Structure 1
Amino acid sequence: MQIGFIGVGKITNAIVEGLCTSSIENTQIYLSPRNEANAQRLAEKYAQVRRMESNQQVIDQSDIVFIAVRPAAAVEVLRTLVFREEQIVVSLVPLLKKAELLNAVAPATQVVRAVPTPTVMQHTGPILLFQANDTVIQLFSHLGQPLQVTDEHQLHALWTLTGLITPFYDLLHELSSWTIANGVDATTANQYIAGLFQALCLAAQQDSSINFKELAQHAETPNGMNEQAGREIREKGAHEAYRIASDNLLKRFE
């Protein structure tokens, strides 16, 4: 399988690292010349990775082409390139809708929108897919858990949640700082916090029917710590801040 990447930023780096350390076989990966340091490092690290001299060379060599450029520049970049009708184009560009993408990569017609997260480097995490074929689903199965959505609005609503990665880590940082201030060494505090929230999410995933409200209520006991903390945080409107931020992020897709 010949796989090309137009754009070699953080998410491309994570995907390439994930693919090169996965069980996938017989792949050659071609990288565009932008972000030279990233592309060169990956090419030196993995025998199946090559940095090309131009974006067009990447496309000419590839059966599957990943588009991972900035939203503002995506259409302009794509319209300077010549795609083949039989190629599969996988767009990782948040604000580039399918209709615009199809127009920009014609005559290619096999177009997929995908939302991997940086955790694909560790072969884990959900990967949103919109109108993916079996080839793309199988490819992403080496990187995490493919999850198909049925329309672009659902895709955009779920894509919005990837904007909450920074607030999530900010929360963990605040909890870490508080714990350290109360006498716990940093290594122990951070390992416990990361492990605690990972375990809680794993428990939810393994439930036959995930219901976060029921899980929250199940954790509470009358006059217990979870009941108190849940009440105090709700009363301060902290959760509403996440809804407002999500609403504002979703507007960027309109």
Structure 2
Amino acid sequence: MSVAHPEEAPAVLDRREGPHGEVVLRRHGDLLQIIANGTFLMDTSDGRSERLLVDAALGELGPDRERPSVLIGGLGVGFSLAHAAADPRWGRITVVEREPAVIDWHRRGPLAELSAEALADPRTEIVEADLVEHLHTGPAAYDALCLDIDNGPDWTVTEDNDGLYSPAGLAACAARLNPGGVLAVWSAQPSANFEGTLRNAGFRRVRTEEIPVVRGVPDVVHLAVRGA
């Protein structure tokens, strides 16, 4: 596992002004870190929760759905994409990322060490777009939506992300899902309110899977299924 060395100050590798503010790529010891508007988003230390996001969605779909398609919301450090591309059971893999800098760090920068093979996979497509807008306007439907663009429905990175977790945003998610499709949402903490919002939006089989952490509340993946 990669580690950060406390005695070392993080080194800024790149700093850019994006469409939603400043994004920074740092190296801290062995770790690569993404910071948005001064808020820590993620690093390369673990990836268990990002992998669970993908695996839980596939498991919820069941074995009868052949070569299901998946939309991954948020490229991040690439754990979810790399994990999906490593599984031959997935069909089309679409990643929606709104920050051009993050895409560039994967295509031509330090994050390529995590995602180069996945980006070269013919199943993979990277779409530079705002996820909320894409869900409302995108032409395609998917078997699974794996969304990881915030620290969770109760702690959004930018205010305009609030719309994703609203009734209108969840209706857009349902519209992008094929019947019986799965919505999986990563969160840095459980949210009973969000579970209720999912049920009120018409999703069924709503549940939450926890990922234990060393200290504090567990990371979770909220799961819900669109009706047939």
> Normalised by the size of structure 2, how large is the TM-score?
0.33
Structure with the larger strand share: 2
Please give the TM-score of this superposition, normalised by the length of structure 1: 0.31
| Rg larger for | 1
Between structures 1 and 2, the one with greater helix share: 1
